[in-house]
Amino acid sequence: MCSLMALLSMFYLQAVRMHSRHLETESNQRWRRNEAKKLIDTDVTIATTESEPKFLSLLKTNTGVGYVNKASNRIGVLAAPGSVGEALFESLNEAMRGVDALKGKFELVLQHSAPPYGYGKNHGFDKFIRLVITPMEFSVWDAGTSLLGTNFENELNSMHVASVTRQFIRWHCRLSHVSAHTPLLTVLSTNLKNDLESEVQKIFRFVLGDDDFIRYRSILSFDISSNKAMERLSNLFVELDYKKFHSKISQQSINNAIIDELKTTNNLSGWPCLSLWNVYGASENNSFPNLLAGSLVPNCKANSSKCFVKRDICEDSGKAHCD
């Protein structure tokens, strides 16, 4: 009997220790979440260069009349290479997973390459969702990590930072022309971070139209607790905030590049926009500007694309100078 009591006592003590470790783990998790929230609330997480507010104010949205091919209903999610665009794309697909009424109704396509020039009939899409990752430093970090790996900052120089900033501005310059003839919704990552559920609903209202959005809203999954992809996207913003706090990326290089590009693109209205290849480092194989240019230029070989403007054909061929 004594040995049995001793054995039960031993099991009890082990259970207490395991429970204590579990509580300690939960406590540590709560602490990390609180620290992450503090980091999000600090000014450093929303800091932008002096020139970025003007750049953001020039990004166009056109949700009204445009060329729409009713037969296909292809929706392009335009985003630079990186985790944020992928996570948003997964979140949108997860939101409508299991909604049988929407199967085959439209197709979401994640695309990095800019649509070719034209009047909406040569890019193969009915609407576009344009993701803008802000501040620009986040765009640089997210794309760099995607294309070069997590240690890309160690080999990054200020001239490459300026080059990829120029490439992002020129990519958005191209999309400004697209918005003149194709419905395009501009989505800022800062708005996604501040109110993810509302922003995802706004995207679906744009995709579905008011009537269908109201019809299906109650069965779409907009809640982070039930949409795991949205939860991952929300956590990704915390990671980006942490990276910004410890970033080595030159703010001055970004600021100067934005100011210069807004001048040379006439505030994103110049046509045709400057070549994505005509920046420092783009001709160096496997450099950051080289890989980014290859991702962002029009893809004239895609089945849905038709390139007839010389600039598109030149950029797709990877020539160093298309201007």
The per-residue pLDDT of the chain, averaged, comes to 82
Express each pLDDT in 63-105 by its tens digit: 764 444 443 488 999 999 999 999 999 999 999 987 888 888 8
Q: Is 104 left (phi over 0), alpha (psi -120 to 50) or beta?
A: left
Residue 37, pLDDT score: 41
Do residues 289 and 282 make contact, with C-beta atoms less than 8 angstroms apart? Answer: yes
Give the confidence band of 20 by pLDDT, cuts at 50, 70, 90.
very low
Least trusted range by pLDDT, from 134-138, 194-198, 246-250, 293-297: 246-250
pTM: 0.82
How many Cβ atoms from other residues are within 10 Å of residue 284's Cβ?
Answer: 12
Q: Which domains does the chain have, with CATH numbers?
A: 52-272 (3.40.50)
Torsion sign over Cα 40, 43, 46, 48: negative
Query: What's the CA gap between 238 and 241, in Å, rounded?
Result: 5
Which residues face 129 on adjacent strands? 77, 185
Residue 248, pLDDT score: 76
The answer to whether residue 323 scores a pLDDT higher than 90 is no
The amino acid that residue 142 corresponds to is D
Least trusted range by pLDDT, from 23-32, 36-45, 141-150: 36-45
Residue 24, pLDDT score: 35
Residue 320, pLDDT score: 66
Both structure tokens of 251: 């703010």
The answer to whether residue 18 scores a pLDDT higher than 70 is no
Express each pLDDT in 133-162 by its tens digit: 999 999 999 999 999 997 787 778 899 999
pLDDT: which is higher, 208 or 165: 165
Query: What's the CA gap between 314 and 176, in Å, rounded?
Result: 20
pLDDT: which is higher, 9 or 164: 164
User: Of how many residues is the chain composed?
Assistant: 323
pLDDT: which is higher, 120 or 84: 84
Query: What's the CA gap between 172 and 58, in Å, rounded?
Result: 10
Q: What 8-state DSSP symbol labels residue 153? A: G
pLDDT: which is higher, 43 or 278: 278
Give the confidence band of 244 by pLDDT, cuts at 50, 70, 90.
low
Residue 245, pLDDT score: 56
Express each pLDDT in 271-281 by its tens digit: 899 999 999 99
Residue 83, pLDDT score: 94
Give the confidence band of 2 by pLDDT, cuts at 50, 70, 90.
very low
Share of the chain above pLDDT 70, in %: 80
Residue for token pair 């994640």? 110
Do residues 98 and 152 make contact, with C-beta atoms less than 8 angstroms apart? Answer: no
DSSP annotation string for 42-104? SGGGT---TTHHHHHHT---B-SS----TTT-EEEEE--SSHHHHHHHHHHHHHTTT-GGGTT
Residue 25, pLDDT score: 45
